[in-house]
Amino acid sequence: MKAVLEGGPKDLPARIVPITPPGIELRVAFHGGFEHFKVTQREQDTPEGRLRVYEWCEHSTIGT
């Protein structure tokens, strides 16, 4: 299963990412920390089909 990431750093290398298992929050390791994305009720058409949108909510450093 995959999701579309919305918001957060503009230079994230991927906006369509695998999610296992689907849940409330997704963490993406990025530049020595994590970008956090929360699931929304929205979906978006992508080249990989219709995917759930996860919206950026915060950044944390590794170890916090």
CA 43 centroid distance within chain: 13
Residue 4 has pLDDT above 70, yes or no: yes
Q: What is the mean pLDDT of residues 47-62?
A: 94
Q: Where are the domains of the chain?
A: 2-61
What are the beta bridge partners of residue 53? 4
Q: Vertex 8, ends 11 and 17: CA angle to 5°?
A: 75
Q: Report yes or no on whether pTM surpasses 0.95.
A: no
Confidence at residue 51, expressed as pLDDT on a 0 to 100 scale? 96
- pLDDT tens for 34-54 read 999 999 999 999 999 999 999
